[in-house]
Amino acid sequence: MTDEAFQAKLANYCTKTFGADGKLEHLRRLSGGASMESWAFSYGGEDFVLRRLPAGLSADDDGLRGVPLATQADIIELARTTGVTAPEVRGRLAPEDDIGEGFIMAKAEGETLPHKILGNPDFAEAERKLTRQCAGELAAIHQIPVQSLAASLEYFSPAELIRIQKDKYDEIGSQIPIYEYAFHWLNENAPDATDKYLVHGDFRMGNLMIDHDGLSAVLDWELVRLGDPVQDLAYLCTPSWRFGHYEKVAGGFDSAEALLQAYAEASGREVDPDRFRFWLVYSTLWWGVACMVMGQIWRSHGDRSLERTVIGRRVSEVEIDLALLFEEILPAEICTPFDWAVPEDQTVTGETGYGELLTALGEWNAKHVQPGLQGHDKFQSRVAGNALGIARRQAEWGPDFRDAAKARLTAIGYDHGQLCSGLSNGEIAITQSAVWDHLRLSALERLSIDQPKYAGLKVALKNGDQHDRFRNPAGN
């Protein structure tokens, strides 16, 4: 469907639903939206947001779509009636509207982009309130009666969730050593969680609307399901959802201890630390597998957006995140410091290098393409710049990293496949110093190519903190 046709059909829908005395204005696609489209617009003096299934994404796209949009709308409305701060659903698309599957909400006021909120003095008062507000919202969500939802929402035990993620991982054909160990650890430490509560499933910064007084709306309900409430708490603390404020475990704005205490006060239920750790490791690994699925969707021609391929390279962020999580529980004697730093750019002589070509493309994109773009097109141009940076670093550093990894494996006595298999089935212990060194060095190498500005990389190389043993003693 062309943009003009989409706009015309949406205008017809608004006329039918909200009255003929309005005019569709300011239609724009909001940034992001790899698994669901969001469009902002105005009609008749009111501001709305349309949530719509993207073109090329179907109901069987490996769970990234989540529950049907009609179910999402039902749950949002139920949540509002039970005290959750959720936007009002104002309309639902029907097949005869010929716009796709989706629904329209009243637009909540505020900001969702974490980098514009966290650490911003203008949102300092709001940030101070977020711990108690998030805890209160989650407690309210977990208290929503689920009887009427049992037929429309899925429930999986922790063991079943691990199996589902492992099946996706294996189907894609992935072999990442620390992922293999994480699956093994999860199976060994899965809690008995048979109680069924409503969980949001995607409660994190970026999916919360924040104004200057704090949280103004809980958004993005597509991953809602029945399960363990502690999963929501751990998900908010997932390293990828700290948005550069890695040391503030709870969403980039506070400590995990403060969040769990606030939740206990709001809900009347204490959170078991071991249960929380399980779900934190699970949620971290879940995001890694979700990144792989994004790339697989592009590979299978389901949706050929550039954003999917770049998200597909974020698997290395999760390698670092898992390494840092496991170092909290591994014996101190195997977590010894070593001298490693992100490579410096090399001086090239002679013919133009492949890295130089990619650098030139990135500079052209940044200087001549991005300034003329707005909205989602500008966002996509930035994504393209990230992709070019990844390709440049791979061209320049990839061969040396590959040789270093091969040498480490030779010294250990396993090839890559054998190491992955042994970590997965428990036959190879991660507590062997040479094995652990290989895993964390591999994570550092891969992440320095994929996202050298990721906050977890800085933490992994940090010097001096007794809790950050995964470090470079030179402080580089």
pLDDT digits (tens, 9 = 90+) for 86-138: 999 999 999 999 998 999 999 999 999 999 999 999 999 999 999 999 999 99
Residue 146 has pLDDT above 90, yes or no: no
What percent of the chain stands above pLDDT 70? 93
Tell me the C-alpha distance between 224 and 202, whole Å: 7
Nearest to 245 by CA among 200, 217, 205: 205
Tell me the C-alpha distance between 249 and 279, whole Å: 14
Residue 216 has pLDDT above 70, yes or no: yes
Where along the chain do its domains lie? Answer: 1-107, 333-460
Higher pLDDT, 94 or 475: 94
User: What was the pLDDT predicted at 65?
Assistant: 57
User: What was the pLDDT predicted at 473?
Assistant: 35
User: What was the pLDDT predicted at 64?
Assistant: 52
User: What was the pLDDT predicted at 465?
Assistant: 44
Tell me the C-alpha distance between 391 and 156, whole Å: 39
Residue 469 has pLDDT above 70, yes or no: no
- Where helices occur in 173-272 by DSSP H, the ranges are 177-189, 229-236, 256-267
Residue found by looking up tokens 């410096």 in the block: 344
Residues in a beta bridge with 226? 155, 198
For residues 457-476, give the mean pLDDT.
56
Q: How confident is the model at residue 35 (pLDDT cuts 50, 70, 90)?
A: low
The rounded mean pLDDT for the chain is 91
Residue 475 has pLDDT above 60, yes or no: no
User: What was the pLDDT predicted at 138?
Assistant: 98
Q: How many CB atoms lie within 10 A of CB 139?
A: 21
Residue 199 has pLDDT above 80, yes or no: yes
Nearest to 432 by CA among 338, 336, 334: 334
How do residues 258-270 score in pLDDT, each as one tens digit? Answer: 999 999 999 999 9
For residues 186-210, give the mean pLDDT.
93
Nearest to 92 by CA among 76, 108, 81: 76
User: What was the pLDDT predicted at 148?
Assistant: 78
Tell me the C-alpha distance between 104 and 16, whole Å: 13
Q: How confident is the model at residue 31 (pLDDT cuts 50, 70, 90)?
A: low
Nearest to 383 by CA among 298, 285, 320: 298
Locate 430 and state its tokens: 């991660």
Higher pLDDT, 1 or 414: 414
- Looking from the CA of 330 toward its CB, the CA atoms found within 13 Å total 26
How do residues 366-393 score in pLDDT, each as one tens digit? Answer: 999 999 998 888 989 999 999 999 999 9
CATH architecture of 1-107: 2-Layer Sandwich (3.30)
Amino acid at 459: V
Tell me the C-alpha distance between 381 and 95, whole Å: 33
For residues 153-182, give the mean pLDDT.
95
User: What was the pLDDT predicted at 223?
Assistant: 93
Locate 128 and state its tokens: 């101070």
Q: How many CB atoms lie within 10 A of CB 49?
A: 19
DSSP character at residue 367: I
Residue 303 has pLDDT above 80, yes or no: no
Residue 214 has pLDDT above 80, yes or no: yes
User: What was the pLDDT predicted at 463?
Assistant: 37
Locate 372 and state its tokens: 């003329």
Tell me the C-alpha distance between 381 and 108, whole Å: 27
User: What was the pLDDT predicted at 470?
Assistant: 55
How do residues 315-366 score in pLDDT, each as one tens digit? Answer: 999 999 999 999 999 998 888 887 889 998 888 899 999 999 999 999 999 9
Locate 307 and state its tokens: 């954003």
How do residues 2-28 score in pLDDT, each as one tens digit? Answer: 788 999 999 999 999 999 889 999 999
Residue 468 has pLDDT above 50, yes or no: no
Strands 214-218 and 208-211: antiparallel
User: What was the pLDDT predicted at 193?
Assistant: 77
DSSP character at residue 46: E
